[in-house]
Every structure is written in structure tokens, then in C-alpha cells.
């Protein structure tokens, strides 16, 4: 069953050609076999998952209705609150934190009868591009275990690529779904800001964070988005469906977009590796053969996206992470002699180096005398970037660019060079600043047999067209069918 997509597996289960309990048991056998090397999961829930799978099989056998993810083994990034297990955010400061409620996205998975097998490793508080900043363990790339899986949703991407689950949820603040999906050769979708509830997602950058699926195929991404999308009264940033209705993303998935216009920003991709540029060019040519028109668009403010993002994101992080003080919950230092030391020593001992760096950057940008020079200016640049996309989408239906300038890099290669690591996100962060949807789909391999991702960006709340455009390419190629040897 390992070669089946989530959508195909669900069909087999409801038609009784497969048993969810047997599939789930096989998944845990794979986790037991490969997890010591991969390190994709922070926690797993074998007994609970097998119980949920057996319940689905029982309901199917009795003819009861079941949900759209009935019996499908799914994983969750460990920054989404769950009443089962700990919610750690990959940090020592939350290593023993147990949430009193489920995130809305998790509740929707459970209501869809998904079988949740575990919670995946991540960069600490989603701050990183390689999953190397996790304070709990290391995750490697299933295509080459000497390389990173990307980040911050590296555990989710590695688990899907290695066949340790059939789909997973990640979160994307500046590319944290798309970049690891690209590095691991799977599909990753960042929905429009407000399309999916953030309630129960532990905040990094509140105006940037968005939950989305990581899957084997575009159809699976559409299936999961069907489940998790929609308005949530508990999330004030969730968009009302009267304003932006939620369509059935699977309904027209296999209908190609006629007269498709693809926007390219040539000067913005010049810094990518040759193999990445070649894969992008080949993908564009494939679309051209399908009848697409290629349009050159100018987006002059994208050059400032990195700077604007790292001011805005770190400023929001410095505010959001102030709640981890050693008093309310989470880690508390045993060496504190007074209240001030409870606060300072708890944070100093439990936060990792990258989290401390970003808190300090954000606090500086928000401090008196620098707010106007940095944070306010970054917000203005953000608006200019949003305007760039609005003008570009008047000429084209989508914009295409690489996911990352390189393929997966070696573990340890960039961890001591923060600026170089930040530049890994150069192609992905603009979508978060603009609040638009973007997807990564497999489009080739480099000379070292490492996956390359194609990024597709679309106007706000146009996930339906975005997925159809992605499916056009997927239907003509077999990149998504190729699996690492570890997944066989």
C-alpha cells in the first residue's frame, strides 16, 4: 500500500480493499525501522492510532458514513496544539507542555477520520530553514542522510517522502512548507493567509504564519485543503466564507487552465544554481507545450523581501515569545534565586541560539528610536511587494520561480552562517509578505539525485486555480512518483 496516495488509500479503505488497521500497523513498522536514522518524529502514538484505525474499519464494515480522510495515516508538525501528547515546538522550553485543547486544523483532521500517527520535528519555534535548530533532535533528508530536509517543517516533509505517513500538516511563515517539500521531493502548499485557521498554532510571526499540507501528490494537497480550509470564529484572522467561499478543490482539479498565462521574473532567479535554473526552464517549456503563454513581469521590490521579512518576522517573534517566561508554563530554571532570574535564566537555558538571535533582532527593531527606521519601513516595503504581485497578476494567472536557489545542502554547512541560511528563503518569503497562496511541486533532480522544486504563486484565495495549474504539470511528468531508496 506504500505506493498509494492518500486519496487512493482512502478509496481502498472505504471500498474494503484495504484495512486501515493493517495499513497503520505497516506505517508504524516503517517508523520503527527508519526513524532511528531519519529523526522525523518527536512523538508517535501507536496505540491511539491503531485504535482510531480499527474504529474506521468497524464503521466502514457496518456501512456507516466516514470522513474524507477515513483511515489515512497523517502526521502533524509539533507546533500545533493537541490534547494528546506534548506540544514542544522543537524547543526545550516546551518539552513537557501538554495543551488543554486541539488546534482547529487538528480538530478538522480528526473530524475527517484521519489517523494521526505522530507529531513531527521542526526548527525551534519554526525559526530555521534546515530543521537543524530543533532543540530536541536532528532530522535528515531521506534522499541523502548527510543532508538537511529543509525547514522549518523538515520532519513533516521527511516523513511523507520516506513513507512514514501518507500526508502531513506543516506551517509556513517564510517558506517552511514549500522549501522542505522542495528539498524532499514532495508537494507542499501554503494557502492564502486567512484561508486556514491559525487557532492552536503556536505563533512565530502572527501576520505571516499559515498551516498547510505536505503530500505526495497535488490531489492529496487538494484533499487535505478541503478538510482544513474555512472560517473559524476562534481565529480573528480567519476569512469569512461569505467574503471568500471555499470551493471543492478536487472537483475541477484535472481540468487544465485554458489560455494559461505564466509570469516569470527573470532577474530574480539569476542567483539560483544551474541545475535549479535548468529544471525551472524545463518546467516552463512543458507548460508552453501545453499551450501556456509565458509573460515577463517586473517586480522591482522583491529584492527587498528578505530584509523586510526578517524585520517583521523577528519583531512579531520577540512579542510572541515573551510569554515563555518560566512562570506561566513550560521550562523553569532550577538555578534561579529570585523572580528576575526565573525569567532570565529560564529563557537563557531553554531557548536555542537561533531563537535568541531572532528575539534580539526583533526587540531591537521595535525599540525606541528604531521602530520608524526598521519596523515601520519594513511594513511599507511589504505593501509595495503586495502591490507588485497585484500588478503582476493583471498580466498573468500565476508566477513561477524556484523554491530555493539550491538543492538540499549538507548538515552543518550553513548553521554557523545565519545570513547564508536566511538567503535559502529568498524565493519563498514574498508569498508570506503578500499573503498569497503558493505551492511547491517536484520538477526534477540535480546531478547528485537530489530533488528540485518548482514554486507556483497565485492571487489570494485562488488555491483552486493554483492546484489545477500544478496538476497540469504533474499529469505530464513522473517526478512525483520517484521515491528515495529508503522509502522502498
Spatial CB neighbours of 99, under 8 Å, sequence gap ≥ 6: 81, 82, 83, 87, 200
Residue 153 bears catalytic tag = no
Spatial CB neighbours of 274, under 8 Å, sequence gap ≥ 6: none
Total Cβ atoms within 10 A of residue 336: 16
Residue 404 bears catalytic tag = no
Residue 15 bears catalytic tag = no
The Cα 313–Cα 336 span in angstroms is 30
What is the Rg, in whole angstroms, of the alpha carbon atoms belonging to the chain?
A: 21
CA distances from 49 to 19, 54, 84, 390 (A): 13, 9, 11, 44
Q: Work out whether the CA dihedral 420, 421, 427, 431 comes out positive or negative.
A: negative
DSSP strand pairing (41-44 vs 115-120): antiparallel
Q: What is the 3-state secondary structure (H, E, C) of 273-302?
A: CHHHHHHHHHHHHHHHHCCCEEEECCCHHH
Question: Active-site residue among 5, 19, 20, 77?
Answer: 77
| Contact of 198 with 78, CB cutoff 8 Å | no
The Cα 48–Cα 115 span in angstroms is 9
Sheet of 261-264, strand order: 41-44, 115-120, 73-77, 167-172, 210-215, 187-190, 438-445, 451-457, 398-402, 261-264, 293-296
Question: Active-site residue among 5, 20, 43, 176?
Answer: 176
Spatial CB neighbours of 5, under 8 Å, sequence gap ≥ 6: 166, 215, 216, 217, 219, 220
Question: Active-site residue among 20, 152, 197, 440?
Answer: 152
Phi, psi (rounded to 5 degrees) for 232: -130, 115
Q: Which residues are catalytic?
A: 77, 152, 176
Amino acid at each position: 500500500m506504500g505506493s498509494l496516495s492518500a486519496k487512493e488509500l482512502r478509496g481502498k479503505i472505504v471500498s474494503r480493499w484495504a484495512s486501515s488497521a493493517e495499513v497503520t500497523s505497516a506505517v508504524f513498522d516503517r517508523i520503527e525501522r527508519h526513524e532511528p536514522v531519519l529523526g522525523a518524529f518527536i512523538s508517535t502514538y501507536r496505540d491511539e492510532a491503531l485504535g482510531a484505525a480499527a474504529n474506521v474499519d468497524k464503521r466502514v464494515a457496518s456501512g456507516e458514513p466516514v470522513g474524507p480522510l477515513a483511515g489515512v495515516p497523517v502526521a502533524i508538525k509539533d507546533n500545533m496544539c493537541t490534547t494528546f501528547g506534548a506540544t514542544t515546538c522543537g524547543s526545550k522550553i516546551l518539552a513537557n507542555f501538554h495543551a488543554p485543547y486541539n488546534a482547529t486544523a487538528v480538530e478538522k483532521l480528526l473530524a475527517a477520520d484521519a489517523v494521526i500517527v505522530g507529531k513531527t520535528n521542526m526548527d525551534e519555534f519554526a525559526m530555521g530553514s534546515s530543521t537543524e535548530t530543533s532543540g530536541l533532535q536532528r532530522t535528515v533528508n531521506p534522499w541523502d542522510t548527510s543532508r538537511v530536509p529543509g525547514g522549518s517543517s523538515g520532519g513533516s516533509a521527511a516523513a511523507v517522502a520516506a513513507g512514514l505517513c501518507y500526508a502531513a500538516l506543516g506551517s509556513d511563515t517564510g517558506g517552511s512548507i514549500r522549501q522542505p517539500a522542495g528539498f524532499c521531493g514532495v508537494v507542499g502548499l501554503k494557502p492564502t493567509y486567512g484561508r486556514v485557521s491559525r487557532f492552536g498554532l503556536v505563533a512565530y510571526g502572527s501576520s505571516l504564519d499559515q498551516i498547510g499540507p505536505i503530500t505526495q501528490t497535488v490531489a492529496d494537497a487538494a484533499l487535505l485543503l478541503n478538510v482544513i480550509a474555512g472560517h473559524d470564529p476562534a481565529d480573528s484572522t480567519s476569512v469569512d466564507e461569505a467574503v471568500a467561499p471555499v470551493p471543492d478543490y478536487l472537483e475541477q482539479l484535472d481540468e487544465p487552465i485554458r489560455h494559461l498565462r505564466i509570469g516569470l521574473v527573470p532577474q530574480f532567479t539569476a542567483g539560483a544554481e544551474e541545475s535549479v535554473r535548468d529544471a525551472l526552464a524545463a518546467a516552463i517549456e512543458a507548460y508552453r507545450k501545453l499551450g501556456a503563454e509565458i509573460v515577463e513581469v517586473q517586480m522591482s521590490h522583491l529584492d527587498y523581501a528578505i530584509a523586510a521579512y526578517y524585520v517583521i518576522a523577528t519583531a512579531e517573534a520577540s512579542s510572541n515569545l515573551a510569554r515563555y517566561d518560566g512562570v506561566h508554563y513550560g521550562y523553569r530554571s532550577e538555578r534561579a534565586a529570585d523572580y528576575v532570574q526565573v525569567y532570565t535564566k529560564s529563557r537563557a537555558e531553554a531557548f536555542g541560539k537561533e531563537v535568541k538571535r531572532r528575539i534580539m533582532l526583533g526587540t531591537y527593531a521595535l525599540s525606541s528610536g528604531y521602530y520608524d527606521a526598521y519596523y515601520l519601513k519594513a511594513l511599507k516595503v511589504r505593501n509595495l511587494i503586495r502591490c507588485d504581485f497585484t500588478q503582476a497578476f493583471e498580466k498573468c494567472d500565476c508566477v513561477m520561480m524556484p523554491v530555493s536557489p539550491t538543492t538540499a545542502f549538507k548538515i552543518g554547512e550553513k548553521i554557523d552562517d545565519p545570513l547564508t541560511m536566511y538567503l535559502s528563503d529568498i524565493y519563498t518569503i514574498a508569498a508570506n509578505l503578500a499573503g498569497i497562496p503558493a505551492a511547491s511541486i517536484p520538477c526534477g533532480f540535480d546531478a547528485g539525485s537530489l530533488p528540485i522544486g518548482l514554486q507556483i504563486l497565485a492571487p489570494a484565495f485562488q488555491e483552486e486555480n493554483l492546484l489545477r495549474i500544478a496538476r497540469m504539470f504533474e499529469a505530464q511528468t513522473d517526478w512525483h512518483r520517484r521515491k528515495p531508496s529508503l522509502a522502498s
